[in-house]
Amino acid sequence: MPSGVPDIELCGDRTLRIGMTRRRFLSWSGAVAALAFTPGILGDTASSTGASAPDSPLFALGVASGDPLPDGVVLWTRLAPRPLARGGGMGARPIEVAWEVAADEAMTRPVRHGHAPATAENGHAVHVDVRGLEPGREYFYRFAALGERSAVGRTVTAHAAGTDAPMTFALASCQSWADGYYVAYADMATHAPDVVFHLGDYIYEKPINRGGGRRHTTAMPESAARECLDLDDYRDRYALYKLDPHLQQIHRTSPFVTTFDDHEVDNNWAADIPEDGMTVPDFLVRRAHGLRAWWEHTPVRLAHRPYGADIRAHRRLRFGTLAEFSVLDTRSHRSDQVNGDVDAPQDAATADPRRSILGPIQERWLLDGFARSEARWNVLAHQTPIADLARTLDGRRAVSMDGWSGYEACRARILDGARERGVTDLVSVVGDIHRNVVTDLRTSYRDESPTIGVELAGTSIASGADGRDSDDSDRALKAASPHVRFGNAQRGYVLNRLQRDRWDAEFRVADSIGSPAERLHTRAVVTIETGRPEVDIV
């Protein structure tokens, strides 16, 4: 490794530690985050129109990286000197943005550089697909335009093919801005995982009350008071969320792999079917706007940019022979939910083999990937639980129609297909349900189907406010779902440490998210050993 680049080692607590460069970087990032919570820094004194102060920096929405490969990574930023105003205060003219990648945080050892256009068509967002990097290495990057320079971000490339070096990754989802502060991201940044998987609900499309919920601020776009419908509405909402300093801190610290769930467009949407009475043509326009704004604000490649209402968001990311992640899209191609899309007993409709939560093309893609995989850990990274999280309602066993429980035949095709193709270390990681739940993965939960893997459902970053260690729903699902191994209803995230012979999932939770100074603690550590689809819990 070149001189001056910090060594990477696996410490006794299995936390991946990196040398002085990263520690200095995290100290600096933490100071910036603390400063950003000082009243007035993020526009708390802005006018009622939501326009931020005129001296807001060009890179007010921060920087990010994502979708790491062994030789490359996507770099992201969006120019917005007035981030809460329509168009971010950029006008219509294109701007040339310089970017650079270096081997050190001081940016004195550059390894790649170039220019990219920021255009009004793309909301003045920039996506740079940098190649020619070395595998399993940390790098630093920044942007410059119009005489201003962005903050420095840190990123990490994936392991080289054929290696099984340990890795860390975090699970995040569901970050309703008005429900509380993103203290989970501040904690996550101190661990600096190799990658963060964000599994959906990066924004919420529903109206925000004038007081900003638990944020207690009026510094919001004018559109925040209504449900997002058009492209400008969605762009406004992303800008509001991305001003959060803890969110900016974790984006500066680790690359993200991002997928969307429902609230990036409309609650519980299914393919071309909206939640409520909107016509299909009108909804497809809305869907196109929501997905376009998602792409504009996330560090994903050009291949995943939507074309109208169509998008190909599913993709694979490999980290040597240690882990292969299949990132799924369970919204765009699914059959409509049955039984009124409420918790209900499974029946002939949920078992209908014609229905799918993935669509036939994505199902074939996933099964073909299982057949070719050479990874120790095969991971499904997606939105809604595969497992039945049953409760007893009116004396009947009821499950969600929005998750895989409402698509039993599709679930059987995927899980049986994995077993038939020799996949032995299968783990599903999901969000959506605003609680931590660890379950067995089975083809069916109404008979004695064998356990073929483990599912880790991570709680929300903020959605649902504080939560409790256990609530009525937690007790109800444990009583009716004997395959549930662990449950908790607080806010937080899951920090995962992977080695060839074991997977440790640390569930980090907060007692409250009502203040930006709240702290997290470890609620449980769940261990999965290779070759054994069971868990040990400490």
- The C-alpha angle with vertex 107 and arms to 104 and 110, in degrees rounded to 5, equals 85
Set out the domains of the chain in order of their start, with CATH numbers. Answer: 8-537 (3.60.21.70)
| pLDDT given at position 458 | 98
The count of residues in the chain is: 538
Residue 56: what pLDDT?
47
367 closest CA partner among 320, 294, 426, 313: 426
3-state secondary structure labels for all residues of 347-367: CCCCCCCCCCCCCHHHHHHHH
Distance CA(328)–CA(261), nearest Å, equals 10
pTM equals 0.91
Amino acid at site 219? A
CA dist 26 and 28 (Å) reads: 5
The pLDDT of residue 389: 97
Which uninterrupted H or E stretch holds 149?
Answer: strand 148-149
Kindly give the pairing relationship between strand 426-430 and strand 377-381.
parallel
Instruction: Residue 96: count other Cβ atoms within 10 Å of its Cβ.
Output: 11
Q: Which residue has 């205060």 as its token pair?
A: 89
Query: Which residue, 263, 254, 239, is CA-closest to 171?
Result: 254
- Distance CA(246)–CA(418), nearest Å, equals 38
Tens of pLDDT along the chain (538 residues) come to: 333 322 222 233 333 333 334 444 554 444 444 444 433 323 332 322 222 233 449 999 999 999 999 999 999 999 999 999 999 999 999 999 999 999 999 999 999 999 999 999 999 999 999 999 999 999 999 999 999 999 999 999 999 999 999 999 999 999 999 999 999 999 999 999 999 999 999 999 999 999 999 999 999 999 999 999 999 999 999 999 999 999 999 999 999 999 999 999 999 999 999 998 899 999 999 999 999 999 999 999 999 999 999 999 999 999 999 999 999 999 999 999 999 999 999 999 999 999 999 999 999 999 999 999 999 999 999 999 999 999 999 999 999 999 999 999 999 999 999 999 999 999 999 999 999 999 999 999 988 789 999 999 999 999 999 999 999 999 999 999 999 999 999 999 999 999 999 999 999 999 999 999 999 999 999 999 999 998 999 9
- Element of type H or E holding 117: strand 110-118
Q: Which pLDDT value is given to residue 25?
A: 54
pLDDT for 245 equals 97
**Dihedral angle at the C-alpha atoms of 155, 160, 163, 164, nearest 10 degrees?**
30
CB–CB of 380/363 below 8 Å? Answer: no
